Amino acid sequence: MFFSRLSACFLSFVLALGGFFGWKPVQPPIVSPPEEVETMEITSDYVIVKSASARDAELTAVNTLKDILFQMSGITFEVVDDTSTPYTAREIIVGATNREGYHDSSVYILDRPALGAEGVFIKTVGETVVITGGAPRGTLYAVYTFLEDYLGCRWFSKDLTVIPEVDSLEIPREIDYFHVPVLEFRETDWISPRDVTWSVANKMNGLVYRYLDSSVGGGVGYAGGSFAHTLEWLVPKSYFETDPEMFALGVKSGKRTVSQPCLTNEKTLAVAIENVRAWLDSSPDRQIISVTQNDNTDYCVCANCRAIDAAEGSQAGTMLRFINAIADELKKYPQYDHVAVDTFAYQYTRKPPKITVPRDNVIVRLCSIECCFSHPLNDPCCERNVAFANDLYTWKKICNRLYVWDYTTNYANFLGPFPNFGVIQPNMKFFMENNVVGIYEEGNYQAAESDGEFADLRAYLLAKLLWDCDIDLDRCMKEFCEAYYGEAAEYILEYIYMTTAKTGQKSIFGQRQHMGIFEYIGNACVMKLSIFDIFHTDGLWENAKNADLTEEQLTRVLKSEISWRYWKATNKVREFGLLTRYESSQQLYSDIKALGITRIHEGAGGLMADKVYFMDPPGRWSTSRVPAIILF
């Protein structure tokens, strides 16, 4: 107790000294309370009206609404069919019913084709409430939007849903909401997005990390069970012994190699087409087939490939001609009319070709792997991002279905801070303002083994932005933290905004620093903190842990604090200074294990080693990085 008080006094002294020298903490923005509006009550005499021929997903929407309203109010609302029940004012109309249309008895008029597959329409007409949307998913999304925006329900994580219990169901008297999402494909990974209920509530429609059946309107998926680096399987290595010319004359290896296929070889194309068709035939409900380069840069420089790439000014030339040939072949068969062929603009294929244009049934997926995530991708002063932005501007001119594969974590240090919260909304807006119609926000796809930063928060914010990039992000973050961390929220919010403000700052030589996705946590581009920042942040986490929390909230705080301790251990500050580094690192290692975390970074060698050298930074505690002498 004495030493704890002494430490607190010393902390106060340091921060007072900082104030004397002009240091000030970063303050979170003020989130204003929602504007008060006139309301009306949904009383027990209301009925839920559905179509007598409702689709599966519309029935799910009806049942979801009925169930949640019961949980909120204890009222069991009767569900009736539109054709068997005359219209009365006190109806909650769900889905496409006979109450809609251009006829004498219609309650409202709606341009239904404008809704597409997922558009949402919510409107009050007198006492009547209309909740509907496009087919197949729009009505279900409309119900979740109604529950969130007008009744305060939230699906923050797979383990944290907030359903308020109320004395009366009050909604705004005047509602007129129409929203059609810009993106036809919305996907991220982390932990909660693998849960179907969370995904549907937050309007994730990709089928990469979850299966969405007809009861929730299905989704947008890739055939064949893979959506990346698929040429490894579409052009199997087993052909190499008999047909080595099917494979790249590698730009790095200087010889024929299975690293990449040769894209100008006729047999390569024939084999790829055969396997593309087999994948599609095994997944007839899927809308996309991925034909994407392997994950290396040893592309082909045979005479034919080299000549095309020279004319096109990019290795995307041979790739896109190969993809177009596959797309043209699929057009010959009516069973593939709904299919698009997807390929990467990734690393050596990122630069658009000068001549070839993608077919109308081709998707180009632009990848931001080389970029800086301290600064927005369209920041003209960020030299790491200018080339990417220019590539996007060019691709959007020639491609009518442009997707993006974006990145939202540090793959070399899953447990360290990745303060990109200041760029996720600007980046999303940049994509959607430039004809991007599909986004995969790749995060920590191994977060189940390494949940030590802000996995649930990131997934929630990304899902919200994928649906509507104009949301009030600060409000969403505040709501999430208050529910997730309880009374510790104010301290964690300040930490998030402080670290966001301290990333990508200028070096002592005046140069902007850039945070990539494989960054060493000791680099100042991640966070450039003064001694006052460090002491203040220690105080924030102490206050967070000492707040009045449930056991579950405390566990969440401790998990999130790992990223801060990881940063201190890497930078050898505070308790990780020379004299106490060994003991403090031992404690950090023990706490990481106790929280169920078993992974440091991505890849087969990313698991935590059983024996580590505690004078090393925690980034070296994985099985592939720990010094060999420690293992024996």
Q: Quick: pLDDT tens for 589-614.
A: 999 999 999 999 999 999 999 999 99
Rounded to whole angstroms, how far apart are CA atoms 368 and 499? 22
List of domains in the chain? 2-30+489-631 (no CATH), 39-180 (3.30.379.10), 222-367 (no CATH)
Give yes or no for a contact between 366 and 403, defined as CB atoms under 8 angstroms apart.
Answer: yes
Please, which residues bridge with residue 94 across strands? 131
pTM: 0.95
Percent over 90 (pLDDT), the chain = 91
Residue with tokens 């190499």: 240
- Residue 632 pLDDT grade (very low, low, confident, very high; cuts 50, 70, 90): very low
**Mean pLDDT confidence for 567-571:** 98
Each residue's pLDDT tens digit, 175-207:
999 999 999 999 999 999 999 999 999 999 999
Whether residue 420 is predicted with pLDDT greater than 90 in this model: the reply is yes
Give yes or no for a contact between 262 and 249, defined as CB atoms under 8 angstroms apart.
Answer: yes
Q: Where are the alpha helices (DSSP H) in 261-302?
A: 266-282
| Residue 39, H or E segment | strand 39-42
Each residue's pLDDT tens digit, 203-239:
999 999 999 999 999 999 999 989 999 999 999 999 9
pLDDT reported for residue 88 = 95
- Per the structure block, which two tokens stand in for 174? 């005047």
- Measured in residues, the chain has a length of 632
Give yes or no for a contact between 189 and 447, defined as CB atoms under 8 angstroms apart.
Answer: yes
Reference 534, options 568, 560, 508, 559; nearest CA is 568
- Per the structure block, which two tokens stand in for 475? 């409000």
Supply φ then ψ for residue 272, to 5 degrees: -60, -45
Rg, the chain, Cα only = 27
What DSSP letter does each residue of 349-385 carry, written as one string?
G-SPPSS----TTEEEEEE-TT--SSS-TT-TT-HHH
Each residue's pLDDT tens digit, 291-322:
999 999 999 999 999 999 999 999 999 999 99
33 burial (CB, 10 Å; 0-12 / 13-18 / 19+) is exposed
Strand 128-133 vs strand 120-125: parallel, antiparallel, or unpaired?
A: antiparallel
pLDDT reported for residue 413 = 97
- Per the structure block, which two tokens stand in for 294? 């392997």
What DSSP letter does each residue of 102-160 carry, written as one string?
SSTT-SB---GGGGTTT-EEEEEETTEEEEEESTTTHHHHHHHHHHHHHH--EEEETTE
Give yes or no for a contact between 264 and 304, defined as CB atoms under 8 angstroms apart.
Answer: yes
Supply φ then ψ for residue 47, to 5 degrees: -125, 150
Please, which residues bridge with residue 532 across strands? none
Give yes or no for a contact between 442 and 405, defined as CB atoms under 8 angstroms apart.
Answer: yes
Give yes or no for a contact between 249 and 304, defined as CB atoms under 8 angstroms apart.
Answer: no
- Per the structure block, which two tokens stand in for 72? 């909120």
- Residue 631 pLDDT grade (very low, low, confident, very high; cuts 50, 70, 90): very low
**SS3 for 607?**
strand
**SS3 for 222?**
strand
Rounded to whole angstroms, how far apart are CA atoms 29 and 472? 12
Give yes or no for a contact between 436 and 184, defined as CB atoms under 8 angstroms apart.
Answer: no
Strand 247-249 vs strand 256-261: parallel, antiparallel, or unpaired?
A: antiparallel
**SS3 for 91?**
strand
